[in-house]
Chains A and B, each alone.
Chain A
Amino acid sequence: MRNTTCMADYREVELGYGMLASFFSEASKREAFMAALDLCHQGAAMQALTLFDQWWAHIRFNTYVSSISEHEDAEDFHGRLSMWRAFGGRLPKVAIVIRVPFHSSGAQQLNILFSPVAYLNQQEVHATANAVIENIKTSADFLRALDREVVIGNIFAMLLGAVTCVKHEGFHEEREWRAIYTPKRAQSSLMVPSVEVIGGVP
């Protein structure tokens, strides 16, 4: 896993954050989000947003990501030329083909969030956020029956996913999935930190 600040595009997390901030900076949208969640747990949205803001500095500088590229069966043998060209520079390159299980308790033990990347423009981010608001309203009875902390935890995970798994639409052919680890927030005893220099970058 690599710290996002050392990745090829060190602004990766900033892009998602900026799009999210643009949504919540519009009073009507922010209020719609809060009102939907107030139907389930009064003040839960504000609590989750405040919590996320408090964690933002840690998320920004202490998020670690492993990136893998989804590919078709036909690409098993040769891989995808653009991926070979894009990553590894002039160093020898190796591709590992893996099959990711639908569900694995390993992700829980490692405290990682495993998610596909969404290649979205600002308009699509806003549309997705509006869809979430509608989902929350539709599922209000169900969410009300859950523990408040569970709901807040899921809002937080949604915000974390939005900042770490939204990339510029121009990168869509990468078809990236990310394993995301935020040790300051949820450490795993199975994760051992070490600094390795690859191609001159730690």
Chain B
Amino acid sequence: MTDNQPATDLRPEVLLNMHLEGIFMPRARVQRDDFYAKHKKIRSLHIGGQRLENH
């Protein structure tokens, strides 16, 4: 599972939980959606000052 996975690939129970989160925790739903919309690219990792791509 990656953060780039389209919502259509998610299992029905996961989609249901997301929908329920939108009803009962709308602010968290918006924050979560905004975050993943903003950070789509694979992140790089820094170890000891060296940049390691695509980890």
> In the complex where A76-B44, A76-B46, A77-B46 touch, is A101 in contact with B3 (Cβ < 8 A)?
yes
Total cross-chain contacts (CB, 8 A):
71
Provide the bound-state CA to CA distance between A118 and B44, in Å.
Answer: 27
Query: Does A184 sit at the interface, judged by CB under 8 A?
Result: no
Shortest Cβ gap from B26 to chain A (Å): 6
| Residue from the list B1, B22, B45, B51 in contact with A101, Cβ < 8 A | B1
Q: Restricting to B13-55, which residues have a CB under 8 Å from any CB of A?
A: 14, 19-20, 22-28, 31-32, 35-36, 39, 42-46, 49, 51
Number of interface residues of B (CB under 8 A): 28
| Residue from the list B3, B28, B44 in contact with A100, Cβ < 8 A | B3
Contact across chains for A118 and B28 when beta carbons are under 8 A apart: yes
Closest chain B residue to A116 by CB distance? Answer: B31
> In the complex where A135-B22, A135-B26 touch, is A70 in contact with B35 (Cβ < 8 A)?
yes
Contact across chains for A139 and B44 when beta carbons are under 8 A apart: no
Provide the bound-state CA to CA distance between A105 and B42, in Å.
Answer: 20
Contact across chains for B36 and A102 when beta carbons are under 8 A apart: yes
| Residue from the list A77, A97, A115, A136 in contact with B23, Cβ < 8 A | A136
Query: Does A21 sit at the interface, judged by CB under 8 A?
Result: no
Which residues of B sit under 8 angstroms from A163, Cβ to Cβ? Answer: none
Which residues of B sit under 8 angstroms from A100, Cβ to Cβ? Answer: 3
Contact across chains for B24 and A135 when beta carbons are under 8 A apart: yes
Contact across chains for B27 and A97 when beta carbons are under 8 A apart: no
Contact across chains for A155 and B43 when beta carbons are under 8 A apart: no
Closest chain B residue to A161 by CB distance? Answer: B25
Contact across chains for A99 and B24 when beta carbons are under 8 A apart: no
Which residues of B sit under 8 angstroms from A105, Cβ to Cβ? Answer: 1
Which residues of B sit under 8 angstroms from A118, Cβ to Cβ? Answer: 27-28, 31
Provide the bound-state CA to CA distance between A198 and B36, in Å.
Answer: 33
Residues of chain B whose beta carbon lies under 8 Å from any beta carbon of chain A: 1-5, 10, 14, 19-20, 22-28, 31-32, 35-36, 39, 42-46, 49, 51
Residues of chain A whose beta carbon lies under 8 Å from any beta carbon of chain B: 70, 73, 76-77, 97, 99-105, 115-116, 118, 128, 131-132, 135-136, 139, 142-143, 150, 154-155, 157-158, 161, 165
